Amino acid sequence: MKQHLAVIIAGAFAAFTFPGGRARAGYEPPCFIDGCRSANGRFVITAEPVGKIANHGPNQWNFVWKDTQTKETRTFPAQGVSKGQVFGQLYLAPDGETFALFNHVTLWYDGKSDMHGATKLWGDKPGYPKDIKHEAFSRRIIVYKKDGTIVKELGICDLLNPAELDSVMTAFTRVHWIESYPGLNYRMTARPTYAFCQVSPDYTVLEFHAVKVRGSKDNLGRLVRVSLTDGQLLAVDAKLAKDQTPIRSFVGPDHLPDDEPKTRESFIPSLDPVRDEGKLTWSAPPSPVELKLVKDGFKKLDTPAWLSSEKCLAFTDLDTGKLNRLVGEKVSEWRADGGRGRVGPDGLWYGLVGGKLVSWSPGAEPKVLLSKAPGDKDLSLNDLAISAKGVLYFTTLKDPEKGRVTALNLKSGTATVCFDAEQHPELANPNGIAVSPDGKSLVIAVSSYKDRRRAGLYRFALQEDGAFDVAAGKKAKWASPNAPDGLAFGPDGNLYCTDGNLIRIYNGAGTEVNKVRIPQGSGTNLTFGGVDGRTLFVTTDKQLYAGAWNDSGKK
């Protein structure tokens, strides 16, 4: 028998405020109705889908009641969960005669996602609902008999007093009417419900905190207790037997090991949540790199590059306009006029010196390759990559609606604008850039500062002459980090991308397979180097980090 239902859903909303936390853009936790085993272990209630489950409904579910001693099984249509985002938990009484559904999440469905739908819920009097039977307010707690008939339904208006009802918050299509317990957060717990309620060990009494009244100095809202056998509200000061006194349910860690969709989606809950832990069926492989601080106190670091001939790392501090180098564990200034730069397949350093794009071998004079880019008054360069075929690609961020990628043929000296974001707004603010190890594709990190929904990694197939089809490459993201910046291919052939305080690792299909945490600061760029090419160097604004790569996390 299925212990739970977890329907994986990829939401289409941008980031939104949600009871207990803030959800990631483009993701909503899976719909589910988790089952329960009675305290004596004899009876079990679970939920099963009927057909395909949609994100916001309408949907159909069946409840399955079972007596494990007599083997009697009853299946009947579920009521009260046909619309909206369902984060439900079933509670089964010891005698198996009744069970209750608690579904505090109140995202409702009105034809199609309506980003302003919450305004439709309120009447002429501020703070009061126009229709308390609306899915957003009704059927938060439903008590059923074992044959599926309903004993009692409780909506938000049945559970809150007028002052609390006036404090209910609507945001987009969500209704915030219940407070999480201290130290718990719906994003970090395996199920959102875990943060919002307590339940008695016999599963007959539910407890939660109502929304805080506006202006109240209390840390939590009023405590509410409900009988899960008949739906009656209980006095919170009434003395209850030990097995009827609500306690922290859903035993186990307060937080998931990481805040990732894959982790939440793989969680299998216990049928007895006050006694047994659930389990995770998926866990991230160990990180292939543990970063250690090399030096702190810089202004704005970027573009680390390893020079094999010098056995050193070159990196720039943009605020001081200086090119620094790391030899062993010693950092020193290398050039007072050096800017962003990378090392090409020929071992030369390519970058900005004195505001010009040059190739440079330490000890020799820099060779000027380009004094200004096509269409620019000066040479504006953010990041660059050099192919084995002698084409240097560099990105220009510009303002939040612009940016471009330019290709410089190192043999002919000809510079060509590959694309300009004024003509291709989907690719605004091209940032990090990297050529694949086989030389067949170019990956560009598009930051899209004005519209973060377009931010991501785009992969373009390179032609023999180094050109690429912009229209074909921009049709779909190759990968979807939240705020991509620097890029580098690793010794495992995977692509490493800085994304805030993370380095996300993508395989050849653009699937995220692992990540590395940056101890402090937000990653600006990265590269692999060291005598064996297996050391990852990472820059933030103020810190330089390094860590030895290993294949323990390879997937």
In our burial notation (b when 16+ CB lie closer than 10 A, e otherwise), range 121-148 reads beeeeeeebeeeebbbbbbbbbbbebeb
Contact 458, 427 (CB under 8 A): yes
Q: How confident is the model at residue 149 (pLDDT cuts 50, 70, 90)?
A: very high
The pLDDT, as a whole number, for residue 217 is 85
Pick the more confident residue, 341 or 107: 341
State how far the Cα of 108 lies from the Cα of 357, in Å rounded to an integer: 56
Distance, CA of 371 to chain centre: 41
Q: Cα-flanking dihedrals φ and ψ of residue 472, to 5°?
A: -70, -40
Does residue 317 share a domain with residue 239?
A: no
Domain boundary among 277, 308, 337: 277
Longest CA span, the chain: 89
Measured in degrees and rounded to the nearest 5, phi and psi for residue 486 equal -80, 150
Q: How many domains does the chain have?
A: 2
- Which CA distances in Å does 111 have to 84, 361, 460? 11, 64, 38
What's the whole-number mean pLDDT along residues 141-155? 95
Would you place residue 468 in the very low, low, confident or very high pLDDT band (cuts 50, 70, 90)?
A: very high
- Main-chain phi, psi angles of 110, to 5 degrees: -130, 80
Half-sphere exposure of 400 (CA within 13 A, CB side): 5
211 and 310 part of one domain: no
Q: What is the pLDDT of residue 106?
A: 61
Are 203 and 323 part of one and the same domain?
no
In a domain, 493, yes or no: yes
pLDDT, position 114: 43
Segment holding 473, helix H or strand E:
helix 470-473
Dihedral sign for Cα 149, 151, 154, 158, please: positive
Residue 222: which domain range? 16-277
pLDDT exceeds 60 at position 192: yes
Query: What is the mean pLDDT of the segment spanning 221-240?
Result: 96
Same domain, 356 and 230: no
Where among 277, 306, 327 does a domain terminate?
277
- pLDDT band for position 189 (50/70/90)? confident
Q: Two tokens at 117?
A: 């739908």
Both tokens of 424, joined, read 């291709």
Residue 429 located in a structural domain: yes
Mean pLDDT across 392-415: 93
Return the CA Rg of the chain: 29
Is 8 inside a domain boundary?
no
Asked whether the predicted pLDDT for residue 499 surpasses 60, the reply is yes
Same domain, 261 and 327: no
Q: What is the CATH number of the domain that holds 544?
A: 2.120.10.30
**Which pLDDT tens digit goes with each residue over 304-325?**
999 999 999 999 999 999 999 9
Phi, psi of 495 (to 5 degrees): -100, 130
- φ, ψ (nearest 5 deg) of residue 157: -70, -20
> Alpha carbon of 475 to those of 203, 459, 510, 513: distances in Å?
52, 10, 15, 23
Whether 265 and 353 share a structural domain: no
Q: Report the pLDDT value the prediction gives residue 425, as an integer from 0 to 100.
A: 93
Residue 519, in any domain of the structure: yes
Q: Which residue has the tokens 């395989």?
A: 507
* Cα separation, 219 vs 203, whole angstroms: 27
| Placement of tokens 């938990």 in the chain | 89
Write down the pLDDT at residue 52: 75
Q: Is the pLDDT of residue 554 over 60?
A: no
Instruction: Give a yes or no: residue 10 inside a domain.
Output: no
Half-sphere CA count of 270, side-chain side, radius 13 A: 16
Q: What pLDDT does residue 248 have?
A: 92
N- to C-terminal Cα distance for the chain?
32
**118 shares a domain with 195:** yes
Dist. CA 106–CA 187, nearest whole Å:
16
Is residue 478 classed as helix, strand or coil in its secondary structure?
A: coil
Same domain, 184 and 64: yes
User: What is the Cα–Cα distance from 256 to 252, expressed in whole angstroms?
Assistant: 10
Q: Is residue 55 scored above 90 in pLDDT?
A: no
Write down the pLDDT at residue 117: 43
Give domain status of residue 287, yes or no: no
Output the pLDDT for position 176.
84
Report the alpha-carbon distance of residue 318 to residue 152 in Å, rounded. Answer: 66
CB 394 within 8 A of CB 380: no
Question: Do 296 and 272 fall within a single domain?
Answer: no
Is the confidence at residue 242, as pLDDT, over 60?
yes
Residue 1 confidence (pLDDT):
35
Model confidence over 364-387: pLDDT tens digits?
999 999 998 887 777 889 999 999
- C-alpha separations of 32 from 105, 190, 191, 282 in Å: 11, 12, 9, 18
- 162 pLDDT more than 90: no
CA–CA distance, 351 with 303 (Å, rounded to integer): 10
Residue 2 pLDDT exceeds 50: no
The whole-number pLDDT of residue 108 equals 56
Q: How many CA atoms lie within 13 A of 186 on its CB side?
A: 22
> Does 75 lie in the same domain as 196?
yes
C-alpha distances (whole Å) from 84 to each of 160, 175, 236, 308 are: 21, 11, 30, 58
Q: Which of 528, 530, 538 is nearest to 498 (CA)?
A: 538
Q: Cβ atoms within 10 A of the Cβ of 69, count?
A: 10
Q: Are 250 and 243 spatial neighbours (Cβ–Cβ below 8 Å)?
A: no
Q: Which residue has the higher pLDDT, 444 or 218?
A: 444
User: What average pLDDT is seen over the chain?
Assistant: 87
Per-residue confidence band for 16, with pLDDT thresholds at 50, 70 and 90: very low
Of 229, 254, 277, which residue constitutes the final position of a domain?
277
DSSP assignment of 323-376: EEEEETTEEEEEETTEEEEEE-TTS-EEEEETTEEEEE-TTSPPEEEESS-TT-
57 confidence band (pLDDT: 50, 70, 90): low
Does residue 539 belong to any structural domain of this protein? yes
Let me know if residue 138 belongs to a domain. Answer: yes
Backbone angles phi, psi at 396, to 5 degrees: -130, 120
Query: Looking at the structure, do residues 241 and 378 belong to the same domain, yes or no?
Result: no
Shared domain for 234 and 377, answered yes or no, is no
